[in-house]
Amino acid sequence: MPPTLHLAATDKNLELVLRVLPAIVVILAASAVCGRLALLVKQPRVLGEMVAGVLLGPTLFGALFPEAQRAVFPAEVKPILYVLSTIGLTLFMFLVGAGLDHGGGNGRKDTRNAAVLAVSGIVPSLALGAACGYLLHDRLSRPDVSPFEFALFVGGALSITAFPMLARILYERGLENSPLGRMTLLGASVDDAAAWCFLAVLSAMHSGAGAPHVLRTIGLTAVFGLVMLTLVARLLRPMGAWVQRTGRFGFDQMYVVVGIVLLAGLFTDYIGIYSVFGGFIAGLAMPRDPAFREALHSRMMDLVCVLLLPIFFAFSGLNTELGGVAGWGMIGPFLLILVAGFTGKYVGCALAMRGTGFSWRESWAVGGLMNARGLMILIFINIGLSQGMITQDVFSMLVLVAVITTAGAVPLYRWALPERLERRMAPSTPPAPAEASQSQSLLM
Would you say residue 14 has pLDDT above 90? no
Q: What is the mean pLDDT of residues 395-416?
A: 86
Would you say residue 101 has pLDDT above 70? no
Q: Is 42 helix (H, G, I), strand (E, B) or coil?
A: coil
Average pLDDT, the chain: 81
Domain boundaries, the chain: 13-17+77-302+328-441
What is the pLDDT confidence band of residue 410, given thresholds at 50, 70 and 90? confident
Would you say residue 260 has pLDDT above 90? yes
Q: Are 95 and 35 in contact (CB under 8 A)?
A: no
pLDDT value for 425: 61
Q: What is the mean pLDDT of residues 220-229?
A: 89
H helices of 305-391, in order, are 309-317, 328-355, 360-370, 374-386
Using a 10 angstrom Cβ sphere, with 0-12 exposed, 13-18 middle and 19 or more buried, the burial of residue 374 is: buried
Q: What is the mean pLDDT of residues 211-222?
A: 77
Q: What is the mean pLDDT of residues 90-119?
A: 73
C-alpha separations of 390 from 74, 125, 382, 396, 428 in Å: 24, 18, 9, 10, 48
Cβ neighbour number for residue 186 with a 10 Å cutoff: 19
Would you say residue 230 has pLDDT above 90? yes
Which of the residue ranges 6-15, 105-114, 258-267, 311-320 has the most confident prediction, judged by mean pLDDT?
258-267
Question: What's the pLDDT tens digit per position in 324-352?
Answer: 665 667 788 889 999 999 999 899 989 98
Q: What share of the chain is helix, strand, coil (3-state, %, to 5)?
A: 80, 0, 20
**Distance separating alpha carbons of residues 277 and 97, to the nearest angstrom:** 10
- Provide φ and ψ at 177, rounded to 5°: -110, 15
pTM, two decimal places: 0.76
Question: Rounded to 10 degrees, what is the CA torsion of 171, 173, 177, 179?
Answer: -140
In the DSSP assignment, the letter for residue 307 is: I
Percent of the chain surpassing pLDDT 90:
24
Q: What is the mean pLDDT of residues 398-406?
A: 87
Return the CATH class of domain 13-17+77-302+328-441: mainly alpha
Q: What is the mean pLDDT of residues 224-240?
A: 93
Q: What is the mean pLDDT of residues 112-131?
A: 87
pLDDT value for 130: 93
